[in-house]
Amino acid sequence: MVLQVNPVYGAPGLTEQVAGRALRATIAGLERMTRISVAGLEQVDALPNAIFCYWHQWATPGFFAVRASGKKLASMLHPVWYLRPYRVVASLDGHKTVLGSSGRGGQHAAQAVVEELQRGYSTLICPDGPLGPDRVLKPGAVRMARQSATPLVPVTFEVTGGVFLPRWDRMWLPLPGARVQIRFGDPIIAKAGDSDATLESQLAASLL
């Protein structure tokens, strides 16, 4: 179920498939050893689909949040080689991925995601990714929300234990016994009278 936009990237080869299966097993292992609680899921259940937004720091527990939501995703993925195994993970879990980024098929990939949102899929966006600056919101999430008429759902995390990596986003990884509370916030709906700047401010405030 891997959705290809730019044929130059091709279908996953054997090495990528093996790496993707190993990555999926790793994510499942991290999930099993983490004590997870979820709040606000009833708001997600009431929505046909959503654009889930969280800072890049929380990419790993973001996987846990997506699974907890029960939604099927069509998400944009940077085509750099070391991230491509994630499209295998997504496919095995019944999700779709679109390879693209700024200057590398990004506009076509974003439009493909918008079309999947209009068909009822959800998506996830780290609005300060893929390379930062940390917690500086980029406009892509609000644009997708407006174009597809899909609610933005901010997702925040409270953690104990685990480790914060010494990199630009201080990415958090769980260790045995770590705890994470996932909180789905109030949906943000892009109304005709709302400016992009207003929606971006509202989303950024909801991610604090």
Domain membership of residue 88 (yes or no) is yes
Q: How many domains does the chain have?
A: 1
Task: Report pLDDT for 131.
Answer: 86
Domain membership of residue 144 (yes or no) is yes
Task: Report pLDDT for 130.
Answer: 84
Per-residue pLDDT for 1 more than 80? no
Domain membership of residue 95 (yes or no) is yes
Task: Report pLDDT for 108.
Answer: 86
Kindly compute the dihedral angle of the four CA atoms of residues 9, 14, 18, 19, in this order, to the nearest 10 degrees.
Answer: -30
Task: Report pLDDT for 104.
Answer: 63
CA distance 49 to 198: 22
pLDDT in tens, 37-58: 999 999 999 999 999 999 999 9
Give the range of the structural domain holding residue 52, as residue numbers without chain letter. 7-206
Domain membership of residue 176 (yes or no) is yes
Domain membership of residue 54 (yes or no) is yes
Domain membership of residue 2 (yes or no) is no
Contact 207, 55 (CB under 8 A): yes
Domain membership of residue 115 (yes or no) is yes
pLDDT in tens, 68-99: 999 999 999 988 899 999 999 999 999 999 98
Measured CA distances, 186 to 27, 29, 150 (Å): 27, 30, 13
Task: Report pLDDT for 38.
Answer: 98
Scored b (16 or more CB within 10 A) or e, 35-55 reads ebeeebeeebeeeebbbbbbb
CA distance 171 to 60: 8
Task: Report pLDDT for 5.
Answer: 43
Counting residues of the chain whose pLDDT is more than 70, the rounded percentage is: 94
Kindly give, in sequence order, each residue whose CB lies less than 8 Å from that of residue 107, ignoring residues fewer than 6 positions away: 100
CA distance 58 to 75: 16
Task: Report pLDDT for 192.
Answer: 87
pLDDT in tens, 129-172: 888 999 999 999 999 999 999 999 999 999 999 999 999 999 99
Domain membership of residue 152 (yes or no) is yes
